Amino acid sequence: MAWMRVLTVNPGSSSLRLHVVEDGDVADSAEIGRPPAEAADEVKSFVDGLGVDAVAHRLVHGGADLIEPAVADDRVRAAIAAAKSLAPQHVPNTEALLDQLGELLPDVPHVVCPDTAFHRDLPEIARTYPLPARWRARWDLRRFGFHGLSFGWAVRRAAELLDRPAAELNLLVAHLSGGCSVAAVAGGRSVDTSMGFTPLEGTMMAKRSGTVDPGMLLWLLREGHLDVAELEDGLYRHSGLLGLSGTSDDTRELVRDSRAGDVKARFAMAVFEHRARRELAAVAVSLDRVDALVFTGDIGWDQPEVAEAVAGGLGVLGVRGGLSRNRERDAVISPAGARVPVLAVRSREELSLAAAAVSVL
């Protein structure tokens, strides 16, 4: 694939990553630890005088209409606006950055890359919610899946590390970061995943709850204990690791505090690890075998205690612990001869974004 010089834009709910990718590698970068809405000056400073051939924007939720990367024309912008309510913590940030960077870099194409695209061929039985047919038809209620840019890169690197074609591999992939999800990948295709209609379903996350009993949420609303705004704020911003520990959503801090005797920190980590194992085991039933388990995302790549706890509790799938703590490079981290190899792959969403933009242009 011929490469260009591409600016990649990766907004989170509370941070922003900018990379300049050239010839398949990062030539420059900036990590801004503030919400994109508050980072306009830093963005302007980074792109001032920057020469690029294209800009690639990560879009967390493409909705029903954006199922592959596309140039940000009027149709695409309308589809993004329609998907805003599906991921309100993320999609408005992409809209704002498209506006700002469209003004700062008006002479190059801007390509929107949906994180949901990797799961666009999710089998019908895996994407369907058991809801009334009239609901599903009217509002397109189904499971979309997320973290596709990360999953796609992890599958590619796993194939290289195992020296086997991706088309021959059945993989379990765990993207563990501020947002967390897992996927079962067969022959390079997503066949099951933990996130669904929104990025709130599935395994526990840094500040998001993951899956909880919908009846409990109905009860909280019906009995007047919470209103919709309070419920949304609590599920998205005050749950997960932060909600259980009461102190932090950062696994590095929680592991340190656990060792120092903080009972709540240790409990938060134990629940986090349990929920990750549970979701991995759930999607594993969509595979006829497991050829490898791949950890990626900031936590999956750089928190060996979490990888050890998750892998060590999946003996029912043939996975074992005793993992290497090496994080200097992508690698197989399970002991030699392990029945199911365990890999750690650094998430390189910026390279996936650049490749997607090149493929479109």
Q: 190: which strand partners?
A: 185
Write out the H or E segment, with its range, that includes residue 113.
strand 110-114
The DSSP call for residue 117 is G
Cβ contacts of residue 350 below 8 Å, gap of 6+?
Answer: 8, 10, 17, 19, 21, 26, 29
Of 354, 348, 350, 315, the closest CA to residue 334 belongs to: 315
73 has catalytic annotation: no
Catalytic residue among 115, 257, 262, 302: 115
The Cα 28–Cα 91 span in angstroms is 25
Q: 332: which strand partners?
A: 343
Q: Please say whether the beta carbons of 298 and 12 come within 8 A.
A: no
3-state helix, strand, coil in the chain (%, to 5): 45, 20, 40
Residue for token digits 């695209």?
A: 117
The Cα 115–Cα 250 span in angstroms is 23
Give the residue numbers marked as catalytic: 115
